[in-house]
Chains A and B, each alone.
Chain A
Amino acid sequence: MAHKAGLFDLRLVIAVLFAIYGVVLLVVGLGFTDEADLAKADGLNINLWSGVGMLALSAVFAAWAVLRPVVVPEAQDAGAAESSGS
C-alpha cells in the first residue's frame, strides 16, 4: 500500500509562505496605510491588492496539495523509509 508524503510537499511550503505574506499585506493595506503610502503608489492600495492576490495563490497551492497528495510507491519505501522526503 502506498502512503502519502505529508510533511515536505513543496506545494504546502509555497502555500504557507504566501499565506503569511498575504495576511501581513492585507492587514497593512486595511489598517496601516496612510495618505503618503497611497500617493506613492499612485492612489492604488497596492499592499491590500497584493495581499489578496497572494492569499489566492496560497489557496490554489493548498488546494492542489490536498486534492492531489504526493504518493510514495511502496517499492521505494523499503530503502527510503526514514528518508522519504519529496
Chain B
Amino acid sequence: MPVLAQVDLRLDAGPLDYTLLAVYFVFVLGIGFLARRSVSSSLDFLLSGRSLPAWVTGLAFISANLGAIELLGMAANGAQYGMATVHYYWIGAIPAMVFLGLVMMPFYYGSKVRSVPEFLRRRFGKGAHLVNAISFAVAQVLIAGVNLYALAFLLNLMLGWPIPLSVVIAAAIVLTYTALGGLSAAIYNEVLQFFVIVAALLPLTIVGLHRVGGWDGLVEKVTGGPGGAEQLSAWPATELTGIQNPVLSVIGIVFGLGFVLSFGYWTTNFAEVQRALSAKSMSAARRTPIIGAYPKMLIPFVIIIPGIIAALVVPEMVALKAGEESGVVYNNALPALIGELLPNGMLGIAITGLLASFMAGVAANVSSFNTVFTYDLWQDYVRKDRPDEYYLRVGRLATIGGTVVAIGTAFLAAGYGNIMDYIQALFSFFNAPLFATFILAMFWKRMSAAAGWAGLVAGTLGAVAVFVLAEVGVLDLPGQGASFVGAGVAFAVDIVVSVVVTVFTRPVPEERLVGLVYSLTPKEDRKHSTTGDDAGWYRSPVLLGVGVLVLTAVLNIIFG
C-alpha cells in the first residue's frame, strides 16, 4: 500500500474520541481478567470448555472474520464495483455457513475432536494431520501479522501514530487478554466487537444516505456517475470478475467464489470452526454458523453502501473513481467517509469500531494458532502424556510465541504491495485443497490414509504453481484472478490425486471410522438433543438454515 494523502485522511480526533476508545480498551482487558477465572484446564483455555451458548458462538463466528480485509477491502470493493460486492457475502459465505452447520458439524462436533487437524489425524493418521497442522499454524501467524500491519497502517493514516508503536501496542493488548482468558476472552471480545462495529457503521450509513438524498438520491447519483446504473445491481458482476461474458461471469461467481473459495474457507478454517466447537451442545454447534449467517446476510448494507457513498461524496474518492490522480486508494474509502461525515463523539465510536475489528481478527488468528500448536503439534509429536496443567502452560506460551512471530510478520507485510492479494494467495495455497479432502473424507469411507496427505500436498502445490506462473507473467490474471484460478486448480488436483491414490492403497479399517464418516456413523450419533436449552422449533438448525437461504435468495432478487 503506497503511503499517500496522509493529510487528507487525518481525522480530527479530540479528547472525547480518545476517551471513548480508552473505555473500550478497559472493557476488552477486563473481559480477559474476568475470563481467566473460568480457566482451570487446557480445554477451558483452548476450547472454552465447550460451554458457550449458540448466540455467542454464532456472533463470534462472523466477528472472527470481520477483520481488516473485510472492513476496508469490502468498502473498497463497494466504492470500486458497487453492489456486485454483495456476492462476497450472499454467494461467498451464506451457503457455505449453512452447509457447515447442517452437513459437516455432526462429524466435527460429534467426533469430539478439538481441532480441524485432529479430525484429519483420526480419519487418516499422521501424514495428512502433520501437513494440515503445520500449514494452518504457519498461515495463522502470517495472517495475524498482516492484520497487525493493516491496523498499524490505518492508525498511522488516521491518527498519525508511528507504525511500529501501533503494532506493538495492539499486539500487547491482544496478547494480554488471550493469554489470560484464552478462547473465552477472545470469543467474548468478538461478540462485543460485533456490536461496536455495528454501532459505528450504522450511523455512518444513515448520515451517508441522508447526505446523498436517501436511497433515491444514491440510485440517481450512481447512475449518473462513472460506474453507471449497472453498479447498482449485483448480477452479472462482469466488472468484479473481470469476465466480459455475463453468463461466464455468473458461472465464475457461483463456482469460483461461491463453491471453491468460500466452502474451503468457511468449512475447514479452524479459526472459524473453533468457535462452533466451543459451543455447549451439538445443537448449539450446528446453529453456530447458521445464527452467524443472519447478520452476515445484512452486514454488507453497512459496509458496502458506505463504500459506494464514499465514492460519491468524498472529493478525492470521486476523483479516483473518475480515473484522475487523486492521492487516495480505494482501500481508504471507509476511513475517508468517516472523516468526512462524523463529528467528534461518533468519530470516537467509529475509530473504536475499526480498531476493535482489527484486534479481534488478530485474536482469532492467535487463539486458533495456540490450540493447533498445543494439541496437534506439541502434544502429538513433541511431548505426549503429560498432565493437563502442562498443556495449559504450553497453550499460554504458544499464545505469546505466536504473537511475537506475528509482530515480525507485520513488519514483513509492510514490504508487500497489496494486503488482499497476499492473504488470498495464502488462502488458495492452504484452504482450497482442504475442502476437497474433507468432503471425500466424510462421505467416502474407502478413501485411504495415503490419499489424505497426498491429495493435500498435491492440491497445495497446484495452487502454488498457479501463483508462481501468475507472478512471473506466464498466466495473465489481474488482481484476484490468480487466487480464484489457484483455488480451483487446487480443488481439482486434490480430488483427482485422492481418488487415484485411494485406488492403489489399502483403505482405513472401518471400525476406526465410526463417527467420522457418514455411512459408518449411526443415525443417533449425528442427531442433536431437542430438550432443555435445545428445545423449541426456533432452535432447529434445519429450519434456521433454510430460513437464511430463502431470505438471501429474496435479497438477490431485490438487488439483482
Q: Find B349's partner among A21, A37, A38, A57 (CB 8 Å cutoff).
A: A21
List B contacts of A57 (CB < 8 A): 195, 199
Question: B283 within 8 Å of A by Cβ?
Answer: no
**Does A8 contact B342, Cβ atoms closer than 8 Å?**
no
B207 within 8 A of A: yes
Q: A40: nearest residue on chain B (CB-CB)?
A: B343
Interface residues contributed by chain B, number (CB under 8 Å): 39
**A62 CB–B CB distance under 8 Å:** no
In A32-76, which residues have CB < 8 Å from any B CB?
Answer: 33, 36-38, 40-44, 46-47, 49-50, 53-54, 57
**In the complex, which of the residues A17, A41, A54, A85 contacts B343, with contact meaning CB atoms closer than 8 Å?**
A41
Whole-angstrom distance from the CB of A71 to the nearest CB of chain B?
10
Q: Which residues of B contact A80 (CB under 8 A)?
A: 38, 40
A36 to B25, CA, bound (A): 29
Which one of B38, B52, B188, B207 lies within 8 Å of A41 (CB-CB)? B207
Contact between A54 and B199, CB atoms less than 8 A apart? yes
CA distance A54 to B40 in the complex (A): 35
A47-B346 contact, Cβ under 8 Å, with A13-B192, A21-B23, A57-B195: yes
**A85 B31 Cβ-Cβ under 8 A:** no
Q: Does A20 contact B (CB under 8 A)?
A: yes
A85 touches B341 (CB 8 A): no
Chain B residue numbers with a CB within 8 Å of A10 are 56, 188, 191-192
Q: Which residues of B contact A36 (CB under 8 A)?
A: 343
Specify the chain A residue showing the minimal Cβ separation from B16. Answer: A28
Q: Is the beta-carbon distance between B24 and A17 smaller than 8 angstroms?
A: yes
- Contact A25 B345, CB 8 Å, known A18-B199, A85-B38: yes
Chain A residues near B16 (CB, 8 Å)?
A: 24, 28
Q: How many A-B residue pairs have CB under 8 A?
A: 103
The docked-state distance in angstroms from the alpha carbon of A43 to that of B207 is 9
Interface residues on A, range: 35 or more
Residues of A within 8 A of B184 (CB): 85-86
Interface check B206, CB cutoff 8 A: yes
**Given A42-B341, A85-B37, does the pair A50, B349 have CB atoms closer than 8 Å?**
yes
Closest A residue to B198 by beta carbon equals A57
Q: Closest residue to A29 on the B side, CB-wise?
A: B345
B51 at interface by CB-CB < 8 Å: yes
Q: How far is the CB of B10 from chain A (nearest CB, A)?
A: 15
CB-CB nearest in chain B for A17:
B27
CB <8 Å contact, B207 and A42: yes
Q: How far is the CB of A22 from chain B (nearest CB, A)?
A: 9
**CA A24 – CA B345 in complex, angstroms?**
8
Give the residues in chain A near B507, CB-CB below 8 Å.
none
Asked if A17 and B23 sit within 8 Å, CB to CB, the answer is: yes
Interface residues of B in 11-63 (CB under 8 A from A): 16, 19-20, 23-24, 27, 30-31, 34-35, 37-40, 44, 51-52, 56
Contacts of B203 in A (CB 8 A): 46, 49-50, 53
In the complex, which residues of chain B have a beta carbon less than 8 angstroms from the beta carbon of A28? 16, 344-345
Nearest CB of A to B320, in Å: 22
Given contacts A47-B346, A86-B184, contact A41 B199 (CB under 8 A): no
Is B210 interfacial (CB 8 A cutoff)? Answer: yes
Known contacts: A10-B56, A13-B188. The answer to whether A46 contacts B346 by CB under 8 A is yes
Residue of B nearest to A57 (CB): B195
Most buried by B among A43, A53, A83: A83
| Residue from B38, B52, B195, B202 in contact with A18 in the complex, judged by beta carbons closer than 8 Å | B195
Give chain A nearest CB distance to B6 CB in angstroms. Answer: 21
Q: A25-B345, A44-B210 are in contact. Are A84 and B38 (CB under 8 A)?
A: yes
Q: When chains A and B are docked, how far (Å) is the Cα of A44 from the Cα of B214?
A: 13
Q: Is B211 an interface residue (CB 8 A)?
A: yes
Are B346 and A25 within 8 A (Cβ)? yes
A24 in contact with B192 given A13-B31, A85-B35, A86-B51 (CB within 8 Å): no
Contact string against B for A residues 1-35, beta-carbon threshold 8 Å, 1 for contact and 0 otherwise: 00000011010011001101100110011000100
Asked if B52 and A47 make an inter-chain contact with CB atoms under 8 angstroms apart, the answer reads no
Closest to A5 in B: B38
Within 8 A of A (CB), among B337-354: 340-346, 349
Residues of A within 8 A of B195 (CB): 14, 18, 57
Cβ of B130 to closest chain A Cβ, rounded Å: 34
Known: A46-B206, A57-B195. A83 touches B37 (CB 8 A): yes
Residue of B nearest to A10 (CB): B188
Chain B residue with the shortest CB-CB distance to A34: B343
| A38 vs chain B, min Cβ distance (A) | 8
- What chain B residues lie within 8 Å of A14 (beta carbons)? 191-192, 195
The 7 closest A-B pairs by CB, nearest first: A85-B38, A37-B343, A47-B345, A42-B211, A28-B345, A50-B203, A8-B34
Seed contacts A85-B35, A85-B37, A86-B52; 18 additional CB < 8 Å A-B pairs: A10-B188, A13-B27, A17-B23, A17-B27, A17-B192, A17-B196, A18-B199, A28-B345, A40-B340, A42-B207, A46-B203, A46-B207, A47-B345, A49-B203, A49-B206, A53-B203, A82-B37, A83-B40
6 A–B pairs (Cβ distance < 8 Å), ordered by A: A24-B16, A42-B210, A80-B40, A84-B38, A85-B34, A86-B52
Which B residues have a C-beta under 8 Å from some C-beta of A? Answer: 16, 19-20, 23-24, 27, 30-31, 34-35, 37-40, 44, 51-52, 56, 184, 188, 191-192, 195-196, 199, 202-203, 206-207, 210-211, 340-346, 349
